[in-house]
Structure 1
Amino acid sequence: MKERILAEKKDLELIAEMAVDFARCEGADEVVVKMNKSTGLDVSCRHGELENIDFNKSRSLSVSVLRNHQKGYARTADFSDGAIRETVRAALSIARTTMPDPFAGLPERDEFAWEPEDFDILHPEEPDPDDCLRTAVRLEELAMSRDPRITDSRGAGVSNHYGMNIMVNSAGFMCSEANSYFSKSVCVMADDSTGRQTGASYTNAVDSRLLLSDDFLARESVREAIECINPQKIPTCTCPVIFRFDCAPEIISPAVGAIFGMNQYYKCSFLQDCRGKQVFPEWFTMSSDPRVRGHISALYCDSEGVATRRCDLFKKGVAVDYLHSCVSARKLGEKTNGHAGGALGIVTLSDERGPKQSYKDLLHSMDKGLVVISTMGQGINTMNGDLSVGVTGFWVENGEIQYPVSGITIAGNLKNMYQGIRGIADDADERQRFRTGSVMIDRMTVAGGE
């Protein structure tokens, strides 16, 4: 199967090269052609019965042209010669109506990732609907049978996908990759006096052999539901707050968006002009690594073809650099650094004071406060960093979790919160692209329901 996919990818590469050649013949100064094709099967069940089966195939070809510094873009799902030629002509026609952009254009030749790299992300399997359904039913049954307090299910799902992504440009550069993707998930519910509490778990990988076990998924989903039964209210207060590992990316990831080059150029970042300035504590480092072998997000070039590299985004709390595409770099009088599309690959937080403490130790160091396990609402203002969101979680006293809480709101400002980080636990979840353990903020305003 892998050989068939690679052979098909070769055919698509030839089509992309033909589209570039035609666009140049039609008068384009620069051309970028991108193609993607994916095939997949998604199967879900509920109460042991098939709920949904979705076998999908999708494909697209996009043409971006530059003529006299004017940009045009067109897209099609038809890969025939006639359709591609019409798409090229449409892109050129659109370009004639746009304003010239002196900053647009391909990267410099020495910036391209000319040497392809294999990150071992293609392990395809023929999709089998019956086998996927059996797996989903078995997973749901396992979760439902683990605890008598689990009363219902929202179902279980299994996915099996593979795809190809190709980029060819008029500089003679080609990036061509094929990948596979597998996942399993389950969600169960437990009744209490307030209604129902849900718990869910998932796993994903480029190789089905690397998926987490059904037993792990069942155990995690049940624990998530049971530990939130009968939540209580708490009074309004100011206290330390721990964002658990699965929730911590929601407060840390805005810092990555804030250092996008275009956000800095348009002055729409709450960390405006932050390069070289202290944003996090001096022991805090955040790095991005798009070159992790076997990971679904592994890339040897960014969306413009520039070579990727592992880099520190924040080093000892200081913003190291902005994340540039060619356009944002040129607008700011700088050079691209392989981040068209943002922080690529796996983003990791580290504590340079030494080994991270455990989640249990982090609770003890907080002594009394709130643990947040989920947020509700889009309550972050990326212009000024203000945050106000509804949350659920646990109340902690004497360093121990006392009871679940819900119906509360927390508020603060991200810049102050970042400076107020006091610790990061060692419980990072390797399923997440944004890998951080639980993060403790020294003080936040908590609006309780009492």
Structure 2
Amino acid sequence: MEFTLKPDLNELQTELVDVKQAVAEALDYGKSLGSTAMECALTRSRGISVETRLGEVETVEFNQDGALGITLYQGQQKGSASTTDLSPQAIRASVEKAFDIARFTSPDPDAGLAPAELMAYQRPDLDLCQPGDQSADYALAQALQCERHALGLDQRIVNSDGASYSSHVGYRVYGNSHGFLDGYLQSRHAMSCSLIAKHGDAMQRDYAYTVARATGDLNSPEAVAEEAVHETVSRLEARKIDTAKVPVIFRADVANSLFGHFVGAISGGNLYRKSSFLLDHLGKAVLPEWLSIKETPHLKGALASSPFDHEGVATENRTIVENGELQSYLLTSYAARKMHMKPTGHAGGIHTWQVTQQQQSLQELCRTMGTGLLVTELMGQGVNLVNGDYSRGAAGFWVEAGEIQYPVEEITIAGNLRDMLANIVAIGNDTDMRHGVRTGSVLLESMRVAGN
């Protein structure tokens, strides 16, 4: 892809056709060598990323990356190779390397392609590519305007960690020896601003960001700046709190991490290794009875939409949890064979989860909670998916009588994920659309909060 001020969709489509032809030739060559099965995948992205700080340009980076990954099977023996060079000679050399490597690997009875009947032979158009202006002038103007606006809004904002803007377009192509070969274009644009506020001798840092497939769906530089200022200033005069067991709200922008652990717990890799606290929970209650999760992979323009997974398996609307009961694991073809089940189209991740919400704003959730902790930031990685133990650093706000009283910091929240998920009291209507899990703020019955 050549760098242009704004990528042309027709040119991208032409390049996509050329790459698909290169993949087809690789598959044909692998077959001629005597492979019993083969798959090729390429995800390529190109675009611009800029960073500014205090009105000065820090970085301007044009990047283009992506390699063709080749996996070849000789029976149950597997060999892999990759190349960034898509010339016929380089592709043939990589196929030969994969073929040679396969000769020396141990047979794995569960290795192989996903079943042919699950391929996405009829692909919906999900409108995942909306190119934007990728000129340095435009990108820098967005970042500079965002930071400039933020620095002029509140005297307590004394410094900046910078603003950034990025715009990328690309494509994903996948083909295998079942005869499946397809690809689609995609784009991603983002802007962020990170600030430092001061009160007395104490300083606080926070940020805001926006991300979308289309630049027209991004929040304006001014809106990002105003959110960043609000988030940063609101953390000033933070206090420590006494250790207690209290209700906790995960604000929407961090609540997705709670369901992210749930994703890990029902993913095939952890299940067949018996390293999940939700092992053997299919058909059992894992969430409150009122709560359901639906996967909707074909929403047009959504950040986590995809017509097929990384193995070519067609994605489809799927019920993950129905009235609190787990209805589906998340299985690649390898995990499915290990577990004697059917692949679910989740090689590479999930595809836009819709979590049940209730018609309560964050403020109303605070009133429902009464007294407790509103978490707005999580730190550390103290999560054990084997037994569900959960312990992470946190910051946020102390709530009393349903109203936010003051910011808090230097605390740890702890519990067990099995209990935390089962004891969700309510989910707000402030759905965060920037993640693969679309959820509002989550009110938990109680957690241990360690402070002073």
What is the TM-score normalised by the length of structure 2? 0.96
Deviates more, 1:175-184 or 1:373-382: 175-184
Match of 1:448 among 441, 447, 451: 451
Aligned partners of 1:45, 1:240: CA distance in 2, in Å? 40
Which residue is equivalent to 2:216? 209
Mapped contact 1:65–1:92 kept (Cα < 8 A): yes
Once the two structures are TM-superposed, the CA of residue 34 in structure 1 deviates from its matched residue by: 1.2
Once the two structures are TM-superposed, the CA of residue 36 in structure 1 deviates from its matched residue by: 2.7
Match of 2:429 among 426, 431, 438: 426
Aligned partners of 1:193, 1:435: CA distance in 2, in Å? 38
* SS of equivalent residue, structure 2 residue 356: strand
Match of 2:19 among 12, 31, 41: 12
Mapped contact 2:43–2:173 kept (Cα < 8 A): yes
Aligned partners of 1:430, 1:56: CA distance in 2, in Å? 27
The CA deviation string for residues 244-271 of structure 1, in whole angstroms up to 9 with x for no partner, is 1111122222111111122211111011
The CA deviation string for residues 39-73 of structure 1, in whole angstroms up to 9 with x for no partner, is 11111111111110101111311110111211111
Which residue is equivalent to 1:415? 418
Aligned partners of 1:135, 1:448: CA distance in 2, in Å? 40
Answering whether residue 366 of structure 2 is matched by residue 363 of structure 1, we say yes
Answering whether residue 349 of structure 2 is matched by residue 346 of structure 1, we say no
Aligned partners of 2:408, 2:112: CA distance in 1, in Å? 53
* SS of equivalent residue, structure 1 residue 172: coil
Which residue is equivalent to 2:338? 331
* SS of equivalent residue, structure 2 residue 52: strand
CA separation of 1:297/1:251 partners in 2, compared to 1, >3 Å: closer, same or farther? closer
Question: Given residue 290 of structure 2, which amino acid in structure 1 is its aligned partner?
Answer: W
Mapped contact 2:124–2:298 kept (Cα < 8 A): no
The CA deviation string for residues 358-392 of structure 1, in whole angstroms up to 9 with x for no partner, is 21111111111111111111111111110111110
Aligned partners of 2:442, 2:44: CA distance in 1, in Å? 39
Deviates more, 1:53-62 or 1:117-126: 117-126
Aligned partners of 1:122, 1:439: CA distance in 2, in Å? 32
Aligned partners of 2:268, 2:125: CA distance in 1, in Å? 29
Matched ranges for 1:99-248 at <5 A: 99-193=106-200, 195-248=202-255
Once the two structures are TM-superposed, the CA of residue 95 in structure 1 deviates from its matched residue by: 0.8
* SS of equivalent residue, structure 1 residue 284: coil
Which residue is equivalent to 2:280? 273
Aligned partners of 1:412, 1:116: CA distance in 2, in Å? 43
Once the two structures are TM-superposed, the CA of residue 193 in structure 1 deviates from its matched residue by: 4.0
Once the two structures are TM-superposed, the CA of residue 126 in structure 1 deviates from its matched residue by: 4.8
Aligned partners of 1:149, 1:435: CA distance in 2, in Å? 33
Aligned partners of 2:329, 2:57: CA distance in 1, in Å? 48
The CA deviation string for residues 144-188 of structure 1, in whole angstroms up to 9 with x for no partner, is 111111111111111111112111111110121111221111111
The CA deviation string for residues 215-249 of structure 1, in whole angstroms up to 9 with x for no partner, is 21111101101111010111111111111111112
Which residue is equivalent to 2:312? 305
Answering whether residue 89 of structure 2 is matched by residue 82 of structure 1, we say yes
Aligned partners of 1:382, 1:11: CA distance in 2, in Å? 43
Question: Given residue 345 of structure 1, which amino acid in structure 2 is its aligned partner?
Answer: H
Which residue is equivalent to 1:56? 63
Match of 1:435 among 417, 433, 438: 438
Mapped contact 2:303–2:436 kept (Cα < 8 A): no
Which residue is equivalent to 1:379? 382
Aligned length: 445
Once the two structures are TM-superposed, the CA of residue 298 in structure 1 deviates from its matched residue by: 1.6
Once the two structures are TM-superposed, the CA of residue 37 in structure 1 deviates from its matched residue by: 2.2
Aligned partners of 1:372, 1:123: CA distance in 2, in Å? 34
Aligned partners of 1:178, 1:419: CA distance in 2, in Å? 39
What is the TM-score normalised by the length of structure 1? 0.96
Aligned partners of 1:192, 1:19: CA distance in 2, in Å? 62
Aligned partners of 1:147, 1:57: CA distance in 2, in Å? 39
Match of 1:295 among 302, 316, 321: 302
Mapped contact 2:110–2:337 kept (Cα < 8 A): yes
Mapped contact 2:272–2:338 kept (Cα < 8 A): yes
Answering whether residue 402 of structure 2 is matched by residue 396 of structure 1, we say no
Aligned partners of 2:268, 2:359: CA distance in 1, in Å? 31
* SS of equivalent residue, structure 2 residue 292: strand
What is the alpha-carbon root mean square deviation over aligned residues?
Answer: 1.3
Mapped contact 2:395–2:409 kept (Cα < 8 A): yes
Question: Which structure 1 segments of 5+ residues have no match?
Answer: none
Mapped contact 2:303–2:434 kept (Cα < 8 A): no
* SS of equivalent residue, structure 1 residue 247: helix
Question: Which structure 2 segments of 5+ residues have no match?
Answer: 1-7
Question: Given residue 351 of structure 2, which amino acid in structure 1 is its aligned partner?
Answer: G
Question: Given residue 295 of structure 1, which amino acid in structure 2 is its aligned partner?
Answer: A
Question: Given residue 168 of structure 1, which amino acid in structure 2 is its aligned partner?
Answer: G
Aligned partners of 1:234, 1:246: CA distance in 2, in Å? 23
Mapped contact 1:370–1:395 kept (Cα < 8 A): yes
Aligned partners of 1:200, 1:77: CA distance in 2, in Å? 36
Once the two structures are TM-superposed, the CA of residue 192 in structure 1 deviates from its matched residue by: 2.5
Match of 1:27 among 14, 21, 34: 34
* SS of equivalent residue, structure 2 residue 253: coil
